[in-house]
Amino acid sequence: MTTELVLLGTAGAPMPVAGRAGISSALIADGRVFVIDCGRGAPSAFADAGLDFTRLEAVFLSHLHADHTGDLPGLLLYPWGVRTGGHGPLAPIRVYGPSRPAMLPAGDAIFHRVTTIHPELPAPGTADLVQHILAGYAYHLNVMPLDARMPDAGELVRGIDIAVPARTDGTTQAPAVVFDDGAVRVTAVAVRHGRAVPALAYRFDTADGSVVFSGDTSVNDDLIALAQGAGILVHHVADLGYLRRHGTGDAELDRMAALHTDVSEVGGVAERAGVGELILSHYLPAEPDAITGEEWASRAGKGFSGRTTAGHDGLRRRLGA
């Protein structure tokens, strides 16, 4: 077996920046492709990495902010034409992710919405998202097959909500088994990313080793437990001090500290998890020239006895190599 990690995009936050694509990663196990998050540019990065759209099996969404989901429609719809084989349409691409939250999160005096969009379903989950993508692109899906040979649109995709274990304070969560076919096992825990509930971290295990994807989270014991002993931890990182120096206000920074893991904290997370390598991704600030890779790695690696790597778009790691 061979298992390889590819970082498709490493930028955090929705705002496009030059020179870095939005957050997305891929794990390739014996040619089968699993995509984790689907930010800006993911379909192009998938092609740039030489990955095979006929081998895309599943997408795993950490949470439903647009920087993690915005290019999901393209990842499903652009390669639709090749999703066919000698025996008809390929198996549907499965999109796993958070379910609807139990209730629409409320705001507070400082941060709140003015208009509630789509009040009849204001916090759609992953299965809802996929259904709404199909609904929004029904024209393409219903009309394109009249002018080109296309596989049955009904077999293109399935959206699947992940039931995360209920949080019980003081004890670590038992990870939910999301996917397990004997060769690839995917487990998930809920993490804390502000009001984005549920938000998930994922662990992939194959015979070659283990990779954990933090998603977006503040420092979290459940993530550390999930990542125990993994070969690679792909962790998002923020430099809140940089953002303060560049004009982000106190109220917003306080909120961001509850949303993100600071560069001063992430090495401690990797050390407590006992992983082999910490690979940084989902940078805040996202601009590649704001902070060099060397600086990110040296600051993030403090307190971590393993290897720290500043991830970049296109970075590849062969597991077990």
* Piece of 169-177, 216-224, 253-261, 290-298 that binds Zn ion (CB under 5 A): 216-224
Q: How far is the CB of 310 from Zn ion (least distance, A)?
A: 18
- The pair of structure tokens assigned to 109 is 């005096």
Tell the smallest beta-carbon distance from residue 14 to Zn ion (Å).
8
Instruction: Pick between residue 129 and residue 319 the one whose CB is nearest to Zn ion.
Output: 129
Query: For residues 67 and 71, which CB has a smaller minimum distance to Zn ion in the complex?
Result: 67
Choice between 216 and 239, CB closer to Zn ion: 216
| Count of residues in contact with Zn ion, rule CB under 5 A | 2
Restricted to residues 221-260, the positions that interact with Zn ion (CB under 5 A) are none
Give the closest residue to 206 by CA, choosing from 29, 26, 24, 18. 29
Give the H/E segment covering residue 27: strand 24-29
* CB-CB contact of 185 with 162 (8 Å): no
Interacting residue with Zn ion among 205, 216, 222, 265 (CB under 5 A) = 216
Convert residues 43-72 into a mask of x (bound to Zn ion by CB under 5 A) and - (unbound). ------------------------x-----
Q: Which is nearer to Zn ion, 186 or 286 (CB)?
A: 286
Q: How many angstroms separate the CA atoms of 157 and 181, rounded?
A: 19
106 vs 239: CA distance, rounded Å: 27
Shortest approach of Zn ion to residue 316 CB, angstroms?
A: 22
Of the pair 164, 256, the CB lying nearest Zn ion is at 256
Residue 38 or 77 having the CB closest to Zn ion = 38
In angstroms, give the least distance from the CB of 239 to Zn ion. 15
In the complex, the smallest distance separating the C-beta of residue 189 from Zn ion, rounded to whole angstroms, is 17
- CA-CA distance, 163 to 157, in Å (whole number)? 19
Q: How far is the CB of 201 from Zn ion (least distance, A)?
A: 13
Decide whether 23 or 29 has the Cβ nearer to Zn ion. 23
Nearest distance in Å: CB 196, Zn ion: 9
Binding site for Zn ion (CB under 5 A): 67, 216
